[in-house]
Amino acid sequence: MISKPNPDWEKKDVVIKNDRLLIDGYQVMMRWETPYMHKMAEMLHAHSNNNILEVGFGMGISATKLQHLGLKTHTIIEPHPKIYNLALKWKRHYPKSNIMLINDYWQNIRDLLPKYDGIFFDTFSATTEEADLKRFDFFKTASEKLLKSNGALTFYYMKKNLELNYQDELLKSFSKIIIEPQELKSSPDCVYASVDKYVISILAIK
């Protein structure tokens, strides 16, 4: 299963508000997700604080948390030029950090990247089917091409349980899966996720 970049995604209109990011009218990210993003960043950092790859910048919530936790190197891939420019401005707040920003789709450069100790994967998909395809493709890519031995991957999932198809796909590429629940409640007007009690954060170890 090979995924492809969203057609012309880099040309879509961007609207940034205090509590949300909209691209082409889609709700891409909202501020209520902050505790969830922080939890994933903490799990990844606890496993490794060395060379970390982040796929998708969004509102910079996870990137900021990772910087506050401390990393050896931090590489961020962001395809949308306007969001990439936001990331460039964000980077200025961390002049002493080793941060590399790449303006491209991960699918285009998967064979050009080095190996990392950890990966934070959070990209936008318009449908559940598209999200599954991209994640499953990336699980394989991460394990075979992008992660060092004992490297770890965390990814945006936002559900209460790890579904069987995800268990199957992860266990094809990773030796261990760590799951941690946390309390969370979504914004009432959020259309891409409905959380009323808790969600799980996932760390897959090669």
| pLDDT single digits (tens) 1-43 | 789 888 889 999 999 998 999 999 999 999 999 999 999 999 9
Predicted TM-score (pTM) of this structure: 0.96
pLDDT for 138-150, tens place per residue? 999 999 999 999 9
pLDDT of residue 112: 96
Q: Which residue has the higher pLDDT, 8 or 119?
A: 119
pLDDT for 148-173, tens place per residue? 999 999 999 999 999 999 999 999 99
Residues 97-124, mean pLDDT to the nearest whole number = 97
Band (106; pLDDT cuts 50, 70, 90): very high
8 Å CB contact between 120 and 40:
yes
**Long-range contacts of 60-64, Cβ-Cβ distance < 8 Å, separation of 24 or more:** 60/86, 60/87, 60/90, 61/29, 61/31, 61/33, 61/34, 61/37, 62/37, 62/38, 62/120, 62/122, 63/87, 63/90, 64/90
Closest CA to 57 of 95, 112, 102, 110: 102
8 Å CB contact between 103 and 79:
yes
pLDDT of residue 6: 85
Q: Share the mean pLDDT of the chain.
A: 96
Element housing 128 (H / E): helix 128-141
8 Å CB contact between 38 and 149:
no
Gap between the Cα atoms of 79 and 164, Å rounded:
31
Residues 169-182, mean pLDDT to the nearest whole number = 97
Instruction: Write down the CATH number for the domain with range 34-205.
Output: 3.40.50.150
8 Å CB contact between 143 and 170:
no
pLDDT of residue 7: 85
pLDDT of residue 125: 92
pLDDT for 183-196, tens place per residue? 999 999 999 998 98
Gap between the Cα atoms of 158 and 195, Å rounded:
8
Residues 6+ apart with CB under 8 A from 9: 23, 24, 79, 80, 105, 124
Structure tokens at 25: 């009218």
The domain locations on the chain are 34-205
Quickly tell me which residue has 């009432």 as its tokens. 188
